[in-house]
Amino acid sequence: MEYSNKITFEHPLSNTYSKDINILVKTDGGQGRFIPNTMVISLDDAEKGVGKSNRSKTMDIALGVINRGTSKNPKNKRILLCEFRFNYKNPKNISATEIKDKIDYSKKLVRKDYDGVIDSNMYFLFNVNIDAQARSIINRKMSGRVKNIIITTERGFKELINR
């Protein structure tokens, strides 16, 4: 798959809540390794924009992706959801309920006024020094309750989506 600016901006939330992924990654403790001006939808900002006093927890970003090499004639257009966990020091503190709730509410938020496809995989990005431990702990804690959770690093995600 590869990132698609066009697909990202086809989503209704992008008009108000788009930001450069590198700014959001750095804010959450990452390094910001992505191609400059890779625009994504800030789901945290979108949730604040809903205006309700009792906010739900969301994944950090949504972005448009397509099959790799199909940018001239995009194939398999979809929105991908991603959570940054760069500041986690101890993955044992991860809550299965929190993960499930973030995924469920993010899908609901992204689905509003959007009839396109949401990717079935959910990406959680950790620092390289704890990603293997986080993968093991999340797989054990989730035990089949939420499938398609992909644990990776910032570099791994960059390689996955950048052309």
Helix (H, G, I), strand (E, B) or coil at 76: coil
- pLDDT of amino acid 130: 87
- pLDDT of amino acid 89: 82
Burial class for 92, CB neighbours closer than 10 Å (0-12, 13-18, 19+): exposed
**What DSSP character marks residue 35?**
P
Q: Within a 10 A sphere around the Cβ of 64, how many other Cβ atoms?
A: 26
22-38 pLDDT, tens digit each: 999 999 999 999 999 99
Name, in order, each residue with C-beta under 8 angstroms of 136's C-beta and a sequence gap of 6 or more: none
What are the tokens at 105? Answer: 């509410």
Task: Assess contact for 59 and 83: CB atoms under 8 A.
Answer: yes
103-114 pLDDT, tens digit each: 999 999 999 999
Q: Which residues of the chain have pLDDT under 70?
A: 51-54, 144-146, 163
What's the pTM value of the predicted model, to 2 decimals?
0.92
45-54 pLDDT, tens digit each: 999 887 665 6
**Phi, psi dihedrals of residue 136, rounded to the nearest 5°:** -65, -45
The whole-angstrom distance between residue 138's C-alpha and the CA centroid of its chain comes to 16
CA 106, 110, 112, 117 dihedral sign is: negative
**What DSSP character marks residue 116?**
S
CA dist., res. 113 & res. 25, Å (int): 27
CA dist., res. 111 & res. 101, Å (int): 15
Tell me the pairing of strands 18-20 and 39-42.
antiparallel
